[in-house]
Amino acid sequence: DTAVSQTPKYLVTQMGNDKSIKCEQNLGHDTMYWYKQDSKKFLKIMFSYNNKELIINETVPNRFSPKSPDKAHLNLHINSLELGDSAVYFCASSFGLAGGVASSYEQYFGPGTRLTVT
């Protein structure tokens, strides 16, 4: 009954490859997010989707392309991987703004995907 799940948990790949990370939530949330945690543990938002629509797109290289087939899934595809892409990527979900209820802003995080680019 995992709330937010990600696959794979670990991903080791070579520079130049293309890879995808999948995220699924079963909480009924309508907003999903991708965060990147670097080697210094700093967490920064990359993208956010609300009901399959992109609402936050930070200054992320266009090699990163999120895709949301439905509001329960948000996948992250990365083209032409670089050494600097090595990090832990966390997916999260929450209720969005439409409800206007204070507790809707709590975000639930997945277990993370540790990406290592060699």
Site residues for another protein, window 47-66 (CB under 8 A)?
48, 50, 55-56
Mask: binding to another protein, 12-31, rule CB under 8 A, as x and -? -------------------x
List 42, 62, 69, 70, residue binding another protein (CB under 8 A): 42
Q: How many CB atoms lie within 10 A of CB 115?
A: 21
Q: Which residue has the tokens 């948000």?
A: 74
Question: Of 34, 71, 110, 117, which one interacts with another protein (CB under 8 A)?
Answer: 110
Please state the three-class secondary structure of the chain as a single string: CCCEEEECCEEEECCCCCEEEEEEECCCCCEEEEEEECCCCCEEEEEEEECCEEEEECCCCCCEEEEEEECCEEEEEECCCCHHHCEEEEEEEECCCCCCCHHHHCCEECCCEEEEEC
Q: Name which of 78 and 110 has its Cβ closer to another protein.
A: 110
Q: Which is nearer to another protein, 27 or 97 (CB)?
A: 97
* Nearest approach, Cβ of residue 17 and another protein (Å): 25
Q: Which residues of this chain interact with another protein, rule CB under 8 A?
A: 31, 33, 40-45, 48, 50, 55-56, 90, 92, 94, 96-97, 102-103, 105-112
